[in-house]
Amino acid sequence: MNPANLNTDAQTVTFAIMAAVLPFAAFAVNFLVFTKSKVAGWASTLAILGSSVLAATVFARVWNTHTIHVQTVWFTIGATKVYAGILLNNLSVLLLGLVSVVALPVHVYGTTYMKDDENFSLYFRYLSFFCFSMLALVIVDSLVLFYAFWELVGFSSYLLIGFWYHRDKAVAANKKAFIMNRIGDIGLLSAIIILFVQFGTFDIDALFRSDGLVASSVLANGEWTSTINHLPAMWHYIAFAGIFLAVAAKSSQFPLHTWLPDAMEGPTSVSALIHAATMVASGVFLLGRVYPLFNAGELTFLAIIGCFTAFMAATIALTQNDLKRILAYSTVSQLGYMVMAMGVGAYSSSLFHLATHAFFKCLLFLVAGVIIHEVKHISDENNLDIDPQNILHMGGLRKRLPVTFWVAIVGAVALIGLPLTSGYLSKDGILIQAFNWSDGKSGIFKLVPAIATFTSWLTAFYVARLIVKVFFGEFRLLQMKPNISVHISDGGWGYKAPLILLALCCLFPLFSINPFSYEQAWPFTGLMQANAPAVEGAYHLVVPVLVNVVSLLVMYGAYRLYSGRSTWAFPQNNLLFRISCNEWYIDRFYNRVIVKYVVALSTAAFWFDRKVVDGFIHLLEKTGQLVAKAAAWTDKYIIDGTLWLLAQIVQAIGNFTRRFQGGKIQYYLYSMLLAVIVFFVFKLIWT
């Protein structure tokens, strides 16, 4: 490597660090200067714009060329040096670019969306802090730093979800998100510690590169052997379990997914960001970082959990009526796809889907934000008491919100994965590789791609339902109350520009020249693992055709069903409907089985603390007081009393003797007489 190249690398690293630090600078400026000002929004937006430009530069320099890894000694414990540094490889620069590029329209949108909020500056402070955490998370090279930023992402999302802290539901939601994420954090921390014990380093590059320490460790005969240590194989599984918990918590996989739908209580633009490339993506990103750790069994576990999560979330999304909740479950479902893809070995497809999903999910959430904003506007104008997020009130909005309608169609089509969109490229990649993976395995494994395919049809159905209920047919609010006034529009460029930008990013040209072949998409080839299985076979043709034709039929069915052209309706009261509508009773199950007992245990602990621990302390205190009182009494009456008595005696003697020198004749006589008498008395006694 020549010196000029080194210089460029140092510059690239500086750019990457600056890209991460700029939002933090915006946070600091907003915190210190623009505490009450609308300028805060533009400060944050400018910072993220700067980050995007820098991230794009870094991306252009690193992507598919080489890995840059610089580090410096952070601290030393005994003989162990712990390094901190920056690791820029294809994965991290992709995420770096993705996060900043998706965050940019969200910021622009936020300046308009939040302009009437009294905590406008606070919102952008939180948002900048969140972006800083996430950007730093993707570029650090040490597991310790990774953990630190992982925590910060969780913490700032907690702040954002509970942004409207005066609403009880928002506070409950952010607590839930935080607690769920704590469970994952414990897992991640355990895994990091186990990895450190086994390999003696926190360095992600040294651990997880293709010829790294993890890849060269051997798991055989119940022993897990690395170059410096060997542990029972059990520890490998515990480390995996820890990582899985972390992924499940952040990326909202079953069984820790329930916080994500509740997290919709935050502002819609926050939902857009959390769901797109940041918070929930970090779990999949973590999987991508530590991928070499997993053995075949563990990958299968990931595939099954991911597949189940995708399916479960899709079935729940079918019956929800809250606009944002549908999208939230859709996110859970798509994240399930990504985890499943990791499990079936479709490493690059998983991350490719992460990238494409970021754009269209962000777009759909921003669309939801516009719709909610406009419906809320109607309800405020007419003093209606309705839930502005309920899709049952909507309908026919395509004529009133044309721009929103068209970008929503683009986002929806990308989410369903129809050809010519980015979603098609990434999702079909996952499905095809899942089918390939199940080949040569026993029949039960066929269920995974089968369920995944079925889930993609479910996706088509609920997305079509959402679009039709919102945009087609007649405006139901107007039908119910014909005399309300409806003045709504797409809004200004603060809304339109981000939406259009994101909509363009949902189309295939951003990712691939050939709209039908995911193998030519640059994120796919760039992230290809060296040892990934070759993709071939008839699935290439069969799967996309089958999936898309059925999806189209399903969408048409949903259109017929929900636009009012069919009199047939789903039964609303059978078991399946109830399971779906109640979100598989998972929350209720948690409340019954876990929360209740945890609360009871906490109450008991509280009682124990109050009564027993505090009681013991009180007892000690009382005893001490008693002893002190006794001591005080002794001091006052016995010791002081003795002294007092002595003083009194001495005083009495003094008073008594003083009289003999009183200067009065008769006392002198007394004294004389006394002396004579005493003399004679003694004389009498002794003779």
3-state secondary structure of 140: strand
**How many CB atoms sit inside 10 A of residue 375's CB?**
25
The number of angstroms, rounded, from the C-alpha of 578 to the middle of its chain's C-alpha atoms is 29
Q: Does 668 bind other proteins (CB under 8 A)?
A: yes
Which region, judged by CB under 8 A, interacts with other proteins, from 142-150, 301-309, 379-387, 656-664?
Answer: 656-664
Query: 108-137: which residues touch other proteins (CB under 8 A)?
Result: none
Which region, judged by CB under 8 A, interacts with other proteins, from 212-220, 286-294, 312-320, 657-665?
Answer: 657-665
Of the candidates 33, 662, 675, 679, which one interacts with other proteins according to CB under 8 A?
662
Q: Does 655 bind other proteins (CB under 8 A)?
A: no
Q: Is 474 exposed, middle or buried (0-12, 13-18, 19+ CB in 10 A)?
A: exposed
Q: Does 569 bind other proteins (CB under 8 A)?
A: no
Q: Give me the residue label for tokens 């497809």.
A: 349
CA distance 349 to 519: 9
Which region, judged by CB under 8 A, interacts with other proteins, from 131-139, 150-158, 455-463, 665-673?
Answer: 665-673
Q: Does 457 bind other proteins (CB under 8 A)?
A: no
Nearer to other proteins, 406 or 670 (CB): 670
Nearer to other proteins, 74 or 660 (CB): 660
Partner residues linked to 219 by β-bridges:
224
Of the candidates 33, 447, 613, 673, which one interacts with other proteins according to CB under 8 A?
673
Shortest gap between Cβ of 687 and other proteins (angstroms)? 20
Q: Does 680 bind other proteins (CB under 8 A)?
A: no
Shortest gap between Cβ of 629 and other proteins (angstroms)? 51
Query: 373-432: which residues touch other proteins (CB under 8 A)?
Result: none
3-state secondary structure of 68: strand
CA distance 200 to 263: 38
Nearer to other proteins, 645 or 673 (CB): 673
Which region, judged by CB under 8 A, interacts with other proteins, from 104-112, 194-202, 213-221, 659-667?
Answer: 659-667
Which region, judged by CB under 8 A, interacts with other proteins, from 116-124, 556-564, 640-648, 662-670?
Answer: 662-670
Shortest gap between Cβ of 652 and other proteins (angstroms)? 21
Shortest gap between Cβ of 626 and other proteins (angstroms)? 56
Shortest gap between Cβ of 628 and other proteins (angstroms)? 51
Give how many residues touch other proteins by CB under 8 A: 10
Is residue 498 within 8 Å of 506, Cβ to Cβ?
A: no
Report which of 422, 434, 113, 157 is spatially closest to residue 275, judged by C-alpha positions: 157
Partner residues linked to 77 by β-bridges:
80
Query: Using CA of residue 424, residue 429, residue 434, residue 435, what is the dihedral sign?
Result: positive
CA atoms within 13 A on the CB side of 608: 6
Of the candidates 664, 678, 679, 682, which one interacts with other proteins according to CB under 8 A?
664
Q: Does 606 bind other proteins (CB under 8 A)?
A: no
Shortest gap between Cβ of 641 and other proteins (angstroms)? 36
Q: Does 661 bind other proteins (CB under 8 A)?
A: yes
Encoded tokens for 308:
């189940």
501 Cβ contact list (under 8 Å, min separation 6)? 105
CA distance 319 to 637: 83
Q: Give me the residue label for tokens 């066929």.
A: 446
Nearer to other proteins, 598 or 669 (CB): 669
Q: Does 669 bind other proteins (CB under 8 A)?
A: yes
Q: With b meaning 16 or more CB within 10 Å and e meaning fewer, what string describes 427-463? A: bbbbbbbbbbbbeeeeeebeebbebbbbbbbbbbbbb
Q: How far is CA 345 from CA 242, 287, 447, in A?
A: 20, 12, 16
Shortest gap between Cβ of 648 and other proteins (angstroms)? 26
Q: Does 665 bind other proteins (CB under 8 A)?
A: yes
Q: Does 684 bind other proteins (CB under 8 A)?
A: no
Nearer to other proteins, 533 or 662 (CB): 662
Site residues, other proteins (CB under 8 A): 661-666, 668-670, 673
